[in-house]
Amino acid sequence: MSLSLAKELNPLNTEPQAESRRLSTPNPKKNPPSKEHEMIVVMEQGASDAQIQHVAQLIRELGLTDHIIKGTERTVIAAIGDDRAKNKENLETVPGVEKVMPVLAPYKMASREVKKERSVVPLGGTLGASAGGKKVCLIAGPCSVESRPQLLNCAQAVKAAGATALRGGAFKPRTSPYAFQGMGEEGLKILAEARDLTGLAVVTEIMAVDQIDLVCKYADVLQVGARNMQNYNLLWAVGDTRKTVLLKRGLSATLEEFLLAAEYIMSKGNPNVILCERGIRTFETYCRNTLPLAIVPEVHRISHLPIVIDPSQGTGHAHLVPDMCKAAIAAGADGLIIEAHDDPEHALTDGAQSITPKTLKEMMVTLRKIATAVDREI
């Protein structure tokens, strides 16, 4: 094309691509990026309840959301909200305040920056079970509630082996729509009966927001499965319940995404979150999932939340479960959640990865020795 023809077609002699770039470039002065401001107010040791509530009120007056976190020695108040709030530095002069610090991690309530000491989360039941602290919790039971005799027999057997909580699915998320989907409310009633019989806390999965009221009626711990780890509406909804939540890591989720999922629950005011590593999807074929136990010390380094290990889902094979339980305790896990069935060969779900109560009882002998070696109890 000649120069004269080019000028005739484009008399302003502009470059269309450059012009497009200029038009799409935002002006930071006219459109300042929205920022979130997160900080923690560390109260002095011995600060009174009145001082704590006064600081919380000042945080709300700044247009921020306050979350009070009481530790054994002192209280901290997390303040989360819009960065345009002013005069946040004035909080440092309020009576009872020791210092004000920014929270750098993308997850706030779950961060070790907000709470230095490890959280101990109650499980429920009548045995005083909890996750976190010195004692390692053991949650065991069948993948699914299949019948009343099956569940009650299994509950008594796992308690005799040393379990403090009973797992069992009344609603089952299955890959195939034609597979057994669980017994629904009838299964929940059987789980509640097992709790009355044994004192074991009941841990069961919740799959949808519209199931919450029903499941809360019977369960002590709401399990959010791997497939729902990023179901944000469900996370918010279980956060509103104040029930303890066992949050399973997604099949391909990073640790940061895992902790941010926990943050959704905690941001609604529910501090009772237990993380659960259940294995991630990799290229390996010798196991159902790959169980990355390095997550245990890393979670303890960056978060105060307890973490339990699921070696059943994490491997997919019953013969691998005992050794992975040993490794998990040695790595510092706060608990185990194990699939145990009195007749794995005829289990309606996940029989291949279920150990028998007899195997569980035998395994506990070694697990207690390992727990003692790492200054824990089970």
Alpha carbons 17 and 21: distance in angstroms, whole number: 6
pLDDT tens-digit series, residues 242-279:
999 999 999 999 999 999 999 999 999 899 999 999 99
Minimum mean pLDDT range among 42-46, 214-218, 310-314: 42-46
Task: Indicate the pLDDT class of residue 69, thresholds 50, 70 and 90.
Answer: confident
% the chain with pLDDT above 70: 88
Write down the pLDDT at residue 294: 97
Q: For all residues of the chain together, what is the average pLDDT?
A: 88
pLDDT tens-digit series, residues 303-315:
999 999 999 999 9
Mean pLDDT value of segment 356-378: 96
Q: Which helix (H) or strand (E) holds 79?
A: strand 75-82
Given a cut of 60, whether residue 83 has pLDDT beyond it is no
Mean pLDDT value of segment 274-291: 96
Beta strand residue intervals within 225-320, DSSP E: 244-248, 273-277, 307-309
pTM (2 d.p.)? 0.82
Given a cut of 50, whether residue 24 has pLDDT beyond it is no
Close Cβ partners of 93 (under 8 Å, ≥ 6 residues apart): none
Alpha carbons 323 and 363: distance in angstroms, whole number: 9
Given a cut of 80, whether residue 84 has pLDDT beyond it is no
Could you write out the three-class secondary structure of 32-55? CCCCEEEEEEEECCCCCHHHHHHH
Q: Is 287 exposed, middle or buried (0-12, 13-18, 19+ CB in 10 A)?
A: middle
Write down the pLDDT at residue 181: 81
Write down the pLDDT at residue 9: 46
Given a cut of 80, whether residue 207 has pLDDT beyond it is yes
Query: Which domains can be identified in the chain, with CATH numbers?
Result: 36-102 (3.30.70.1140), 121-373 (3.20.20.70)
Mean pLDDT value of segment 202-225: 96
Given a cut of 60, whether residue 35 has pLDDT beyond it is no
